[in-house]
Structure 1
Amino acid sequence: MKHILKAVTVAASLAILATPALSATRLKFAHPAPDTDLSHKMALQFAEQVKTGTNGSVVVDVFPNGQLGTDEQMIDGVRSGIISFTLVGLNNFSGMLPASGSFSLPFMFPDRATAYKVLDGAPGQSVAADMEEFGMKSMGFPDNGYRNITNNRGPIRVPADLSGLRMRVNNSKALNDLFQALDANPQQIPVAELYTALETGVVDAQDHPIWVVEAFKFFEVQKYLSLSQHAYSALALVMNLESFESLTADEKTVLVQAAADAVAFQREGNEAAEEKQIEFLISEGMEVNRDVDSAAFQEASKPVWDKFIEDNGSDMIDAIQEASK
């Protein structure tokens, strides 16, 4: 009988060890992308890897489609701890971290490989370290792609083609300054409100990476897509710092690895999908032109760089350019 009781006790102990924690730590992951988009798939992969890797002691609940607010509201939510994670454009952090605006300067990166090298290197990690002063833990910089221009007036081939366009812009000062320099009329509108603004003619044009044009269905209210690639746009995956620090060492290790894997997955998928997305937009009736005079646009953007350096100094720009070599 004693042997039987001992066997039962051992079996019960093993069962407890193999069973996910009953009081799991639940973390909210909010982002603005539709649930059909690769960024949402990335979030789901991250959540699944965290759950599996921690044996259920940490569970991540994902909220897509801007359910928990605008980009700015989600960042505030992470800082306060109401939200655990968010995935938004790096440009949204330039108000609190002005140097991070360097990454969004026009024509900063010649290709994605260079952008990844810089973001994963010293310049990106410097921004990541600065985020901790604002209660956030950087978990990586996924790919948002190059920004391109859509509008309803005609193809954009030279800077003069933007003259007079009512242009929706994000909160990047560098991009606001760029479109002002190009004689457009920039207006800041949250992406969640942009479809209606384009549909009703509040603005004539906007600039976003290709995936956004498809995911947010801007092709339904925009006729022309010009592949200007005037600025690289990174995403930032951030976590509430206090929530991260409250985890066990093993749980932290799982989260960091899951984030790295999710970023790699998203970058590879986003880049690979771009040409198919362009083909889809053409099939939906958009007219796409690639014959953009990049040299003319780069020349027109020089005052934007000068103004940025005047306001913020050149330290981060110099670091980016050194890391790009």
Structure 2
Amino acid sequence: MHNKALSILSGIILGAAAISLSTTAIADPLKIRISSPAVETDWHARMLTVFKDELEKTSPGQFDVNIFLNASLFKQGTEPAAMQRGNLDMAMISAQDISKQIPEWSVFTAGYLIRSPEHQQHVFNSPLGQQFYKMVEEKMHIKILDVGYLGSRELNLRDDKEIRTPADLAGEKLRMPGSKEWQFLGQALGANPVPLAFGEVYTALQTGAVDGQDNPLPTVQAAKFYEVTKQIVLTNHLVDAIFLSMSMKTYDKLTDEQKQHVQEAAAKAVAFNNAGRIADEQKLVQFFRDQGLKVYEPDVNAFRQHVQEMYKSSEIAKSWPAGVVDQINAIQ
């Protein structure tokens, strides 16, 4: 009877273990919902599919990634709050979004801070960049996985006066978005900034109500501003970024191995986005030249020095950590 009892007990234990293993094996994949205002053809929309596909390769059956484009799940700008509430797992957020809650981050909305897509990567992968990421993690409970390149803003003018330094922009009526931060950037570039809705820019350029506008080259092409302008000055005055991010409520559910796979998938997605966007911008230089526009680079160092000095003495810069501009400038 003793041996029989032991046998029954052993069977119960083994059965329980088998049930436990079976339950683990068939556990439901973790649902990851990603919201973006981007349209399907945008590079930063397509990179989300790269992220999803990479996770399926490295962690088969562990994640159920659902991508919602065209702001169909959350309106643009509301994603950080949704992630903080736990209503959204992932999104691509901007420095402007972050600076609303962490004023120190407004440094990354300033002109001529980030010099290039490569510099952008180096800054945010540096110890300084990781400190800024940690602020977001601690104060917003959002984990930034990686930074992607969103494009460089250039000057697009209707006259053919050559622009080499900020002094050459004196008196130029430059359309800028209406917020005080954008207006300040236009002033810091040396121009006379004019607030104007985007939908009115083409006609304003056509009639001379404004002398120019600033946008990344793909926007200049899409809005056909090249039809009513004569030159593009490659000032690269704002190298914009988008941060692929995850709610800490979701991130904390991951195993260490899953966290590594998520991080690797984010890096691949960002690399895809950056390569595609940079290649597009390079092709567009020739496109605009073919349309008869002058396309050239001014004295970028003169612009950078002037703009940074303007920012350093501004109200905007009062929330920046001491010495941060010099630290970012020193990163190669």
Same fold, judged at TM 0.5 (above): yes
Partner of 1:260: 267
Quote how far apart the aligned CAs of 1:93 are. Answer: 1.7
Quote how far apart the aligned CAs of 1:281 are. Answer: 4.8
Quote how far apart the aligned CAs of 1:18 are. Answer: 12
Cα 1:250–1:313, aligned 2, differ >3 Å: closer, same or farther? Answer: closer
**8 A Cα contact 2:103 2:319, kept in partner:** no
SS at match of 2:72: coil
Cα 1:294–1:237, aligned 2, differ >3 Å: closer, same or farther? Answer: same
The 5-angstrom pairing of residues 34-53 of structure 1 reads: 34-53=39-58
- AA matched with 1:290: Y
Partner of 1:135: 141
Work out which of the residue numbers 82, 87, 105 in structure 2 matches 1:82.
87
Cα 1:227–1:141, aligned 2, differ >3 Å: closer, same or farther? Answer: same
How far apart, CA to CA, are the structure 1 residues paired with 2:136 and 2:67? 22
**8 A Cα contact 1:165 1:185, kept in partner:** yes
- Whether 1:126 and 2:131 are equivalent positions in the alignment is yes
- AA matched with 2:64: V
- Whether 1:145 and 2:151 are equivalent positions in the alignment is yes
The 5-angstrom pairing of residues 33-112 of structure 1 reads: 33-112=38-117
Identity %: 19
SS at match of 1:239: strand
- Whether 1:272 and 2:275 are equivalent positions in the alignment is no
SS at match of 1:226: strand
- Whether 1:238 and 2:241 are equivalent positions in the alignment is no
Cα 1:84–1:222, aligned 2, differ >3 Å: closer, same or farther? Answer: farther
**8 A Cα contact 2:153 2:214, kept in partner:** yes
The normalised TM-score by structure 1 is 0.77
**8 A Cα contact 1:89 1:144, kept in partner:** no
How far apart, CA to CA, are the structure 2 residues paired with 1:213 and 1:30? 26
SS at match of 1:236: strand
- Whether 1:289 and 2:295 are equivalent positions in the alignment is yes
Stretch of structure 1 that moved more, 112-121 or 161-170: 161-170
Q: Which has the larger radius of gyration?
A: 2
- AA matched with 1:289: V
**8 A Cα contact 2:107 2:320, kept in partner:** no
The 5-angstrom pairing of residues 177-192 of structure 1 reads: 177-181=184-188, 182-187=190-195
Partner of 2:14: none
- Whether 1:314 and 2:322 are equivalent positions in the alignment is yes
How far apart, CA to CA, are the structure 2 residues paired with 1:278 and 1:70? 33
- AA matched with 2:252: E
Partner of 1:198: 201
How far apart, CA to CA, are the structure 2 residues paired with 1:107 and 1:145? 13
Aligned length: 302
Stretch of structure 1 that moved more, 62-71 or 161-170: 161-170
Q: Structure 2: any 5+ residue segments left out of the alignment?
A: 1-18
How far apart, CA to CA, are the structure 1 residues paired with 2:294 and 2:40? 26
Alignment deviations for residues 102-152 of structure 1 (CA, whole Å, 9 cap, x no partner): 234332244433332111111211111111121211011111232212355
How far apart, CA to CA, are the structure 1 residues paired with 2:292 and 2:180? 27
SS at match of 1:138: strand
**8 A Cα contact 1:20 1:55, kept in partner:** no
Quote how far apart the aligned CAs of 1:233 are. Answer: 1.7
Cα 1:260–1:26, aligned 2, differ >3 Å: closer, same or farther? Answer: same
Partner of 1:29: 34
**8 A Cα contact 2:83 2:247, kept in partner:** yes
Partner of 1:114: 119
How far apart, CA to CA, are the structure 1 residues paired with 2:134 and 2:272? 24
